[in-house]
A and B are shown apart, each in its own frame.
Chain A
Amino acid sequence: MGEMVAGIMTGPEIERLIQLLARLPGLGPRSARRAALHLLKRREALLDPLARALTDVAAVVKACHVCGNLDSVDPCSICADPRRDTGLVCVVAEVGDLWALERSGAFKGRYHVLGGTLSALDGVGPDRLNLNGLIQRAESGAIREAILALDATVDGQTTAHYIADRLSGTPAKVSRLAHGVPVGGELDYLDDGTIAAALNARRPA
C-alpha cells in the first residue's frame, strides 16, 4: 500500500528516504523530495555509490581516541601525520571547526576536539566535554602550546577561560585566536561588539 507524500503516491521506502533526507541540514521536505527524486533517477551514477559510501562510513568512521576528530583510522590521519608539529595543539569545539582550520591551510599542528562548549542556558558543564584527554596530553608534556580556537561568543570564551584555568598548572603555554575586524571587513558595516573587541585587542602598528 503506497503512502501520500504531499499528494503523490509513493512506496514506504521512498517515503522513508524523503523523511530522512529532510532531517539533514539545509534540506526541508520540498528539497528532500527533489533530492530523493534526483537519486532515484540517477541510480547507478549516484544512488548506489551514495548507499555504499554511507554504509562504509557508518562501518569504519569513529572518533580518534587522541583528539576526538572523526576519521576512518584511529589515531586519525592528523594525529598520525609525522610532518605535523606534535607540540602545537589547536583546541576546537566541533569537528566542523577543525575542518574550517584545515581548509585555511594555516595551521600545521594537531587538534583537540571538545565536542561542544559550556552553556549556561543548555546546562552543558565540563563533564560533557572531551576535556580529560586534553588535560592528560598537557600534563604529560606532549603539548608545548595549546591554541584555544573557540567561538567569539559568551559560551565559547567562557569555555576558553575555563580550559585556560585547567591548563594553568601544566607545562603547556595557552594562547587564543584574536578577535576583531575580519579580512575584507569594512568598519562601517561591523557591529558595535566587533569594533569594541578590535579596539581592545589593538596592537602597535
Chain B
Amino acid sequence: MDWTDDGIVLGARRHGESSLVVSVLTHGHGRHAGLVRGGAGRRARALYEPGNLLRVTWKARLAEHLGRFACEPLSSDAALLLDDAGRLAALTAACALIEAALPEREPHPGAYDALARLIRALPQAGYEAAYARWELGLLTELGFGLDLARCAATGSSDALAYVSPKSGRAVSAAAAEPYRDRLLRLPRFLVEDAPADRSDLVDGLRLTGHFLSVHVFAARQGGVPAARLRLFERLARPAAMKQAI
C-alpha cells in the first residue's frame, strides 16, 4: 500500500537511535504517523520540526501497519518562528491541539487547510486573532461549532456580547444582563472583521478554550494540552495585557 500527500509536521518521536516516528496532518489522509529511517540524523532532523510542510509518501505492506514515510521538504516554517516566543507558542499549541484532538487516519481536509492558513498567518501582525479564529474553526471541524450568528434568547443578531458556556450560543448584551457573570464574553473580532486588543484576545482564547476543554478534551487524560495552556498564560499575563497589538 502506498500514497503521496502533503503533510504538516505535528511532532516527531525518536525510534531507536537514528529513526523517528513522525506525525503529520495530511490533506487527504488525516493525521497519520509513519517511520522515517535516518530521520534523527544531523542533516535530516530539521525537516521534522512541528509546522514544517512536507510531501510525504507512505508505504506499508498492510493498511494497519505503521508504515514508512519518505519525505521531501516543501517549506520550513518552524525556523522562521523560533525567535518569537508568542508565535512559537501559537504554533506549538496548534500542533499539539491537532495531535491530541483529531482521530488518526480520518481525513479532515478542512482542518489541514485551516492549519496551513494559520501557519502562513503566524509571521504576520495580528497572529493572535488568527489563532483564536482557527480554534473556533477547529471546534466546528470537530462537530462542536458555536452558534454565534444570533442571540439564543431574542433571535437578534445585534450587539452579541456573550456566549452561553452550556449551549455555545451567542447572547446579546441586553438579554445577558441578568446572567452576565455566568456567561463567557464574546469579543467582536470572532464574529466580524474587527480589531482586537489584548483583553479581546484573552477573552477569545478563554471562550474557545472552555469549549475545547468541555467537548474535546474532557475525556482525555491530562485534559487540554499543556502547550495550549502555556499560550493562554502567556497572553493573559498582566505585562502582556498592557501591550497593544
Chain A residues with a Cβ under 8 A of chain B: 25-26, 118, 120-123, 125, 152-154, 157-158, 161-162, 164-165, 179, 191-194, 196-197, 200-201
State the CA gap A59–B47 with chains docked (Å): 42
For the complex of A and B, list the 4 residue pairs with the smallest distance between their C-beta atoms, beginning with the closest.
A193-B79, A193-B76, A121-B11, A161-B85
A125 touches B23 (CB 8 A): no
In the complex, chain B residues whose CB is within 8 Å of the CB of A123: 222, 226
B13 touches A196 (CB 8 A): no
In the complex, chain B residues whose CB is within 8 Å of the CB of A153: 45, 49
A120 touches B227 (CB 8 A): yes
Do A154 and B82 contact each other (CB < 8 Å), given the known contacts A120-B225, A191-B47?
A: yes
B88 touches A196 (CB 8 A): no
Closest Cβ of chain A to B89, distance in Å, is 7
Closest Cβ of chain A to B198, distance in Å, is 16
B76 touches A161 (CB 8 A): no
Of the listed residues B93, B95, B225, B227, the one surrounded by the most CB atoms of chain A closer than 10 A to its CB is B227
A192 touches B89 (CB 8 A): no
B82 touches A179 (CB 8 A): yes
A-contact bits for B64-101, CB 8 A (1 contact / 0 none) = 00000000010110111011010011011101100100
Closest Cβ of chain B to A205, distance in Å, is 20
B79 touches A196 (CB 8 A): yes
B91, B93, B96: the one contacting A121 at CB < 8 Å is B96
B13 touches A122 (CB 8 A): yes
- Asked whether any CB of chain A lies closer than 8 Å to the CB of B59, the reply is no
In the complex, chain B residues whose CB is within 8 Å of the CB of A120: 11, 50, 92-93, 95-96, 99, 225-227
